[in-house]
Chain A
Amino acid sequence: DTEVTQTPKHLVMGMTNKKSLKCEQHMGHRAMYWYKQKAKKPPELMFVYSYEKLSINESVPSRFSPECPNSSLLNLHLHALQPEDSALYLCASSQLSGDQPQHFGDGTRLSIL
């Protein structure tokens, strides 16, 4: 079992819907990440939060809006998504030191109709 919990596990939504993905960790990690993973491909970094502040945005479209309410929680708000946004969305966390590995959640399988 992973120590990073993501909900929901599956999400189907229309292009006009608004939904949110949630991620929680209680390992005391101060860096949290959102990745997008297409089938048989490596994870692609979307956002990085350090000490609850957005530190990296990899030119992600504004229809994806991250939020870090506190050091344990990370949200990804979704609005007006496109069919090509269908993917597995992974959350990860780590200590801020780069020599510590990232711990990944099970992901949310997102399908856009």
Chain B
Amino acid sequence: TQLLEQSPQFLSIQEGENLTVYCNSSSVFSSLQWYRQEPGEGPVLLVTVVTGGEVKKLKRLTFQFGDARKDSSLHITAAQTGDTGLYLCARRGGSQGNLIFGKGTKLSVKP
């Protein structure tokens, strides 16, 4: 099973701090998606990365896909309370299109 391991599992920081969360696999994957899920809601797609070494920025969020396409990271600069949520990475499950998710990093940003 080509699992996605996310770390850390939990992260609690103060507003204004920077943070990085990670998504790793023992297998190469062709592309990866990052989602954010707020309490009581479904996941919302943030970004899709497809090329090894790719870096994408979404305001204060920076997503990186590892050169070997086995890992990815999400860096948040100057975290805000609105960044609180569960950050999930997902890869495509074979040719059928369903997503395989990591278990997520639960981020809490305190004012």
Instruction: Indicate whether A and B interact.
Output: no
Residues of A within 8 A of B (CB): none
Residues of B within 8 A of A (CB): none
